[in-house]
Amino acid sequence: MLNLSFNFLKNIKNFIFPFYKNKDLKFIFKKLQDGIPENRVVARFVGGCVRKYLSNEKIDDIDIATILTTDQIKEKLKDTNFKIIETGVKHGTVTIVSENHKLELTTLRKDIKTDGRHAEVEFTDDWKHDSERRDFTINAIYLDINGKIFDPQMGTNDLKNKNIKFIGDPQKRIEEDYLRIIRFIRFKIMYDNIIEPSTSDIIKQNLDGIKKISKERILIELTKILGLKNFLKINQSNNLTEIFSMIFPEFLYLNRLERLKKVYQYSEANLDLLLAVMLIDEKNNHEYFIHKYNASNKIKETLEKFNKNLIKLEKDKEFFEKDLAKNVYLNGKNHLIALNLINFSKNSKEKLKNFSKVLKKILKIKIPIFQIDGEFLKRKGMQEGYSLGNVLKTLEKEWINNDFKISNERIEEIIKANSN
């Protein structure tokens, strides 16, 4: 009942306060229209913002298609408070930044030549031609500043029916940019887990083309996939699971997601957690993933930390018992909660009852604060420098290993021993 009420209120809000009625957006559209007859549409919203608006989803990025060139856009907005960034002038794109918005404006265009990664484009003022170069019908829905829809590819009907369909010939659309295979998978997971056999066959025939795509672009798209609420349901569709595994063969443990589904409500199913569940094993499979996709230092450090602690957990049965407070202090509650989730997901012998018991223990622990700092040691006569830092580390280590207690006498002994 609560969810129904929330969705009802969200629908009402979108109806009364649609995003396109924002005063900044209305001002930009007015400036773009200046000097051009009102009966000629100069600009329309397109892509994700329109799709999300029609689906009552949160709108993050706003894309605007226009008949104007980048030079004309800059001229019309030059005396405004908006910052103009030339993000892709060659392809007809500028970014407009205001206090509350970041918008991409792109001149209508059609592809002249493609190589599976990049496209040579020709600018046009034909809205239908512009729609024909887009990937899926649900991303080729246009919306003007008054809320009127222009839908040359019948995308609204496909969106309503959760039908992810390539525009025109799927083979041609894929050959224009092989990343569209992964984008197709993302939208299928988002809206509809069923892939028609004919489309599945075309995708499988073109998987080698993904090798042409930069690892950075693939990782960005993968991050979006793993961020989907529906990702944990991927195993419900055999053909979707098959294709995902063919694209990302390093994810050896998709089956673990079934166990994760039983407990994921206790923590956000975030990128690091999902990567750890699907990658980590005794053969350091996660290292192959890090190397293959040139993953960020943050992902690398997090996966290595999970792997290190899972090894400790395997060897030390006290990890979640008498040493729990120590491990929570050293790693943080969120890491320990995630570690418990990963351990349950990858270990089929782990009982749900035991998982819940460990979780309750972690949540109950109050993390102590180490009260000694550099200023305290200076008051004790120590000088700033390397020695002071070492004493701090020694004191904290002893405090941790002694159940977060250390006597004044012992503090004085350690200071004295390092002052000579």
DSSP string, 169-209: -HHHHHHHBTHHHHHHHHHHHHH-----HHHHHHHHHTGGG
In terms of domains, do 329 and 402 share one? no
The whole-angstrom separation of Cα 277 and Cα 179 is 25
The whole-angstrom separation of Cα 325 and Cα 233 is 35
8 A C-beta contact, residue 74 and residue 64 = no
Domain range for residue 124?
1-168
The whole-angstrom separation of Cα 105 and Cα 99 is 17
In terms of domains, do 51 and 22 share one? yes
Decide if pLDDT at 357 tops 90. Answer: yes
By C-alpha distance, which of 89, 111, 102, 36 is closest to 67?
36
Q: Is residue 225 part of a domain?
A: no
Return the amino acid letter for 351: K
Q: What is the pLDDT of residue 416?
A: 87
In terms of domains, do 392 and 313 share one? no
pLDDT in tens, 195-245: 888 999 999 999 999 999 999 999 999 999 999 989 999 998 888 999 999
In terms of domains, do 51 and 96 share one? yes
Total structural domains in the chain?
3
pLDDT in tens, 138-152: 999 999 999 999 999
In terms of domains, do 151 and 7 share one? yes
Decide if pLDDT at 12 tops 60. Answer: no
Q: Is residue 273 part of a domain?
A: no
Q: Structure tokens of 117?
A: 């990664």
